[in-house]
């Protein structure tokens, strides 16, 4: 995942979630969780196309509403500071992901099984982090006015 592939809107949203302090876990888990929550929230609010919350950064697609908000974030005064901060933090996540591959496994079966265990542990950890940041109740919708 290249940092250039990620829209500024997603970067700023993820950084705001990270700064809010609502994420649980280690710093790396918080970074990953903030990125996942930002993507899922932006899909929920209609700024990203459906399916953008899953997969790599190449899957992130902005909607028309998202392109308008993206332009607003690009014009934001001192918005480049947020972008630089997120890019630095994102490089920490990339390095962490590359370091997690086990090097001691020798047999092909041992490598496959140890990778599966590591992937399952990461999946559970990320699911826990994403769940901890979810809203406790659904937002209220305005009631329809009765026609008289």
Residue 139 lies in a domain: no
Query: Which residue is associated with the tokens 């390095």?
Result: 95
Query: CA–CA separation, 11 vs 91, rounded Å?
Result: 13
pLDDT, one tens digit for every residue, the chain (148 residues): 455 688 999 999 999 999 988 888 888 888 888 888 999 999 999 999 998 888 777 788 999 999 999 999 999 888 889 988 888 888 877 655 334 334 443 444 455 567 788 888 887 877 776 666 655 565 566 677 777 6
Range of the domain at 113: 3-132
The pLDDT of residue 98: 35
Residue 140 lies in a domain: no
DSSP state of 47: S
Q: What is the CA radius of gyration of the chain?
A: 18
Torsion, CA 52, CA 119, CA 97, CA 82, rounded to 10: 40
H helix and E strand count, the chain: 5, 0
Q: What's the domain count of the chain?
A: 1
């Amino acid at each position: 995942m290249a940092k250039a592939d990620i829209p500024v809107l997603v970067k700023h949203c993820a950084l705001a979630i990270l700064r809010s302090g609502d994420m649980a876990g280690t710093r790396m888990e918080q970074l990953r969780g903030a990125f996942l929550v930002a993507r899922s929230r932006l899909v929920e609010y209609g700024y990203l196309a459906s399916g953008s919350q899953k997969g790599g950064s190449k899957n992130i697609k902005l909607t028309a509403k998202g392109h308008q908000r993206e332009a607003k974030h690009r014009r934001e005064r001192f918005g480049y500071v947020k972008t630089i901060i997120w890019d630095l933090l994102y490089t920490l996540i990339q390095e962490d992901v590359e370091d997690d591959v086990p090097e001691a496994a020798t047999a092909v079966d041992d490598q496959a099984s140890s990778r599966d265990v590591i992937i399952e542990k990461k999946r559970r950890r990320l699911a826990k982090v994403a769940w901890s940041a979810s809203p406790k109740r659904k937002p209220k919708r305005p009631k329809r006015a009765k026609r008289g």
